[in-house]
Structure 1
Amino acid sequence: MSTILNTNGTALQVPQLMPQADGRFIIITADWNPKVTYALRDGATDVLEKAGVKPENIVCLSVPGTVELVNAAAVAIDSVKNGMPTAAVIVIGCVIRGDTPHFDYVCQIAAQGTAELNAKGKAPVIFGVLTVDNLQQALDRAGGVLGNKGAEAACAAIYMANFPHLL
């Protein structure tokens, strides 16, 4: 098994996808703050491939911003292509605090919406949204000195895709 740098500074094992957990992993990335979000997406894709997910079962899509992630995830959960259901959805975004309350609204919409989708239990939706005070904090968590939260989100997606097969 391979490892990645966890954002708390420790090594995190990349889990292997169980054969019966086969399905599509859909990564939905906000185009806002692309230097950060695309690095997070690339980290997630890399981990999924290391875990044994076939490249054709990794679907990368984008939306304009973090608020739109929730709607896109809701649509992705129910999507089936070529008989292949959704194993997990990873939403990736980056919201950087500014001088207005807009930061709080966007973060609340994304977090609450993701929680509501998860509560329905159809497919796991992994929250890979950075909520930071400044760009440097985001870069540190998007492949910088604190690892890659997108890679961590992919590990969580694999664990959750495996979960129903452990019961």
Structure 2
Amino acid sequence: MATQLKNLSDFSHTTVPNGTAYKFAIAVAEWNAEITGSLYNGALKTLLAHGVLADNILSIAVPGSFELTSAADILLNKHEELDAVICLGCVIQGDTKHFDFICDAVANGITQLSIKHSKPVIFGVLTTNDLQQAIDRAGGKHGNKGDEAAITALKMAELSAIA
């Protein structure tokens, strides 16, 4: 659904599981730090608000969105107790094809890791045309993609536990 039709932080239409029993990692890109910091704060606040214990959240920083895939793989290999990894980043369209290569690599890498590890790896990466769109989706008028990524992690962790 297009973001202009939905607030990324509105979950009034769905049931969100209690996260007390789950362990999560959050990998956040340092590139576009103002945006990714807001995404991280949203994800962390949302996990805590839904019962995840602070001690059950492992947070790491990586240089950029491209490194999120590698970080998630390392986390899942070293911390088998994790129920999901949330990947947070922001890639803003520029004048070259770099945007396309990074976005494609990260999206495909995250999908492949979910399959490889049979664990949810959550795509919380903004892929926007400009800085204002990123601001609007990192706690601005369209809500916070970090909130959405955390809710997705909770829902997928629950699915994995009952499936």
Query: How far 1:8 sits from its partner (Å)?
Result: 1.1
CA distance in 2, matches of 1:143, 1:155: 15
Kindly indicate whether the alpha-carbon contact (under 8 Å) linking 1:36 and 1:142 is maintained by their aligned counterparts in 2: yes
Q: Kindly tell me: are residues 130 and 7 of structure 1, through their superposed partners in 2, closer, same or farther at Cα, counting changes over 3 Å? A: farther
Trace 1:1-167 onto structure 2 (pairs within 5 A): 8-9=6-7, 11-13=10-12, 15-17=16-18, 22-80=21-79, 85-167=81-163
Question: What's the TM-score, normalizing by structure 1?
Answer: 0.88
Deviations 1:35-79 (A, max 9, x none): 000100000000100110001111111000011000000011122
Q: Which residue number in structure 2 is paired with residue 3 of structure 1?
A: none
Query: How far 1:121 sits from its partner (Å)?
Result: 4.3
SS in 2 for 1:78: helix
CA distance in 1, matches of 2:71, 2:35: 20
Q: Kindly tell me: are residues 136 and 165 of structure 1, through their superposed partners in 2, closer, same or farther at Cα, counting changes over 3 Å? A: same
Amino acid at match of 1:150: G
CA distance in 2, matches of 1:113, 1:7: 28
Structure 1: tracts of 5 or more residues without a match: 1-5
Amino acid at match of 1:155: I
Higher normalized strand content (fraction of residues): 1
- Percent sequence identity is 42
Higher normalized helix content (fraction of residues): 2
Deviations 1:93-132 (A, max 9, x none): 0000000000001101100100111122432100000000
CA distance in 2, matches of 1:147, 1:76: 28
Kindly indicate whether the alpha-carbon contact (under 8 Å) linking 1:94 and 1:131 is maintained by their aligned counterparts in 2: yes
Kindly indicate whether the alpha-carbon contact (under 8 Å) linking 1:7 and 1:141 is maintained by their aligned counterparts in 2: no
Query: How far 1:88 sits from its partner (Å)?
Result: 0.6
Deviations 1:116-153 (A, max 9, x none): 11122432100000000000000000000000000000
Kindly indicate whether the alpha-carbon contact (under 8 Å) linking 1:77 and 1:122 is maintained by their aligned counterparts in 2: no
SS in 2 for 1:107: helix
CA distance in 2, matches of 1:44, 1:112: 22
* Count of residue correspondences: 157
Query: How far 1:7 sits from its partner (Å)?
Result: 7.4
Kindly indicate whether the alpha-carbon contact (under 8 Å) linking 1:93 and 1:129 is maintained by their aligned counterparts in 2: yes
